[in-house]
Every structure is written in C-alpha cells, then in structure tokens.
Copies of this chain bind each other. A is one copy, B any other.
Amino acid sequence: MQQARRPGGRSARVRQQVHEAVLDLLSEQDWHSLSIPQIAERSGVHQATVYRRWGTLEALVDDVVMERLSQESPVPDTGSLRGDLEAYAVQLAADVAGPLGPLYVRAAQISTRTQEHQTYLVDRAVQLQDMLERAAKRGEGSPDLLEFMEVIIAPVYYHAMFFNRPIGPDHARTLVDRLLRLRK
C-alpha cells in the first residue's frame, strides 16, 4: 500500500468498511476461502476500488492485521516476572487461537512478512526486552529474549497451529514454570 495523498473522509470510510467486511467474513469462514470480490460485495465497496487500493488479498489482510496490532495492548507490566510472563502468554495464546490467528501467523512468517510488519516486530522485541530487563533490575533472575521466545512463544504458536485446543491459562503457567526453572 502506497502513501495515501487524500486519506480523509471518503477514503477512510471505504477503508473501514472493507476492514469490517474482512473481519465479518472471517468470523464465518476461514481465510482460505476469502476473496476480493466477496469482500467487495459484503462491504458495499466496488471491486475495482479494492483492487486499486490493496492490489491483492494478501496485502489487504496484512493491512487489517497491522491495524489490529497497532491497537493492541502493550506488553504487560504487573510488577513481577511471573505475572508478566503469564499475562503475555495467555494473551498471545488467545490472539493466535482466535479467528484472526492464521492471519497473524501469516503476517509474521519470514516468507510473507512485509516491511511494515518487520518494523512492528522489531519494536515489539524491544518492548519484550524491556519487560525482561525490568525484572532483572528488580533482582529477579531473568531469561534472555531468545530463551523466552523459544520456551514460551514457540510452544504457544505450536499448539495453536498443530493441535486442536489452544493453550489456556493453566498450560501457560506450565510454560512459565518451565522457563523460570531454567534460571535456577
């Protein structure tokens, strides 16, 4: 998506209508059966408009994903490492198991990642790094970022993608326990 030179009023309204149509359709069917003609019809926006603005279905859903991600809550800051880790794991598990889950996964994959999303991920990594450093400053033995990603984040994605039931709060706690145990 190129820079909008006239983003006010009508364009913003069209964008919102199309985004809503995507979310709407995604709650009824899965991502593989989505199409631009279908989204155009549902949104009331003409096909040609969608094609001209986003070009492809992939670019459109990437835009929707970025819109959601930009509105999401920041990384937790509960005052304890365990609290932060659990809160993050539970939230991530919910996101990735929700109706937009496959889209989040797709947008983050290295082979399909946009520059915009890359920037987001780097920023997010910095926030997580900060979260871990806050714990370290409190004197809690803190894992490094890679360890956190491999022991917490990777299994969360793994369960959502390869198993039927996503990780719940109970299992999230198991993952956090495991990570904390490694630090002793």
Contact = CB atoms under 8 A, between A and B. Distances in A.
A114 B163 CA distance: 14
A175 interface: yes
Contacts of A182: 178, 181-182
Given A102-B111, A111-B102, A178-B182, A158 B162 contact: no
Interface stretch (A20-28, A43-51, A148-156): A148-156
A99 to B, nearest CB: 12
A108 B155 contact: no
A109 interface: yes
A161 B102 contact: no
Contacts of A110: 161-164
A157 interface: yes
A30 interface: yes
A152 B64 CA distance: 33
B111 A30 contact: yes
Interface of A: 30, 32, 102, 105, 108-112, 149-151, 153-155, 157-158, 161-164, 175, 178, 181-182
